[in-house]
């Protein structure tokens, strides 16, 4: 694609894998859409339904891609990883002391060293996934409350009193 100009239409045509999460809070639930390659702090969409969240994400993506292109900010392209690229085998170099401790713990747990190390890696990556999901949920909740707050200010500035600010809403004539 080196001879194709990477303009707004090029980036909008890229096929990013979407991550769709249902976020539930005491205020109700909504859907959040992000993608692995683009920062979820800026590139996200929300909606009461999945379709609305995807539309919101696409609108945000268009605005931010345009902003990035105008300022020369790099836009990450989709990354594809095929499971067939991974054999399930890799070499890890470690200190003899750690190797000894791992073997002892594996024996104590009546596991092979490979099984034990695999279980430790699985637990660690699962914990990382949980922390990332928690971070995403907190970001989404923050953005939702920020949007609600900004809407309430906008409503107030237009001359209608906002219930969010503890005042009755008055219909504008």
pLDDT digits 0-9 by tens, 84-122: 677 788 888 999 999 999 999 999 989 899 888 988 888
> What CA–CA distance (Å, rounded) separates 32 from 124?
25
Closest CA to 102 of 119, 123, 116, 118: 116
> What CA–CA distance (Å, rounded) separates 95 from 166?
63
Please check whether residues 166 and 102 belong to one and the same domain. yes
Instruction: Provide the residue range defining the domain that includes 38.
Output: 1-67
pLDDT digits 0-9 by tens, 110-168: 989 988 898 888 888 888 778 887 888 788 788 888 888 887 777 666 665 545 445 54
The answer to whether residues 32 and 53 touch, using CB atoms and an 8 Å cutoff, is: yes
Q: Is residue 49 part of a domain?
A: yes
Please check whether residues 171 and 106 belong to one and the same domain. yes
Q: Is residue 80 part of a domain?
A: no
Please check whether residues 112 and 48 belong to one and the same domain. no
Q: Is residue 151 part of a domain?
A: yes
pLDDT at residue 1, as a whole number: 47
Residue pointed to by tokens 């009755």: 168
pLDDT digits 0-9 by tens, 18-74: 999 988 878 888 999 998 888 887 888 999 999 999 999 999 999 999 999 998 888
The conformation of residue 38, written as its DSSP 8-state character, comes to S
More confident: 12 or 124: 12
Number of domains into which the chain is organized? 2
pLDDT at residue 143, as a whole number: 82
Q: Is residue 83 part of a domain?
A: no
Please check whether residues 48 and 94 belong to one and the same domain. no
What value does the CA radius of gyration of the chain take, rounded to a whole number of Å? 24
């Amino acid at each position: 694609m080196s001879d194709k100009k990477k303009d707004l239409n090029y980036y909008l045509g890229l096929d990013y894998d979407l991550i769709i999460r249902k976020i539930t809070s005491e205020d109700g639930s909504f859907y959040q859409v992000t993608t692995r390659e683009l920062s979820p702090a800026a590139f996200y969409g929300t909606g009461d339904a999945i379709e609305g969240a995807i539309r919101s994400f696409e609108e945000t993506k268009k605005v931010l891609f345009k902003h990035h292109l105008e300022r020369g900010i790099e836009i990450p392209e989709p990354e594809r990883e095929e499971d067939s690229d991974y054999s399930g085998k890799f070499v890890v170099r470690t200190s003899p002391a750690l190797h000894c401790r791992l073997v002892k713990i594996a024996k104590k747990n009546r596991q092979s060293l490979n099984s034990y190390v695999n279980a430790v890696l699985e637990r660690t990556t699962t914990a990382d996934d949980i922390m990332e999901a928690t971070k995403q949920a907190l970001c989404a909740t923050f953005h939702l409350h920020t949007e609600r707050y900004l809407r309430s200010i906008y409503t107030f500035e237009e001359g209608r009193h906002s219930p969010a600010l503890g005042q009755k809403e008055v219909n504008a004539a």
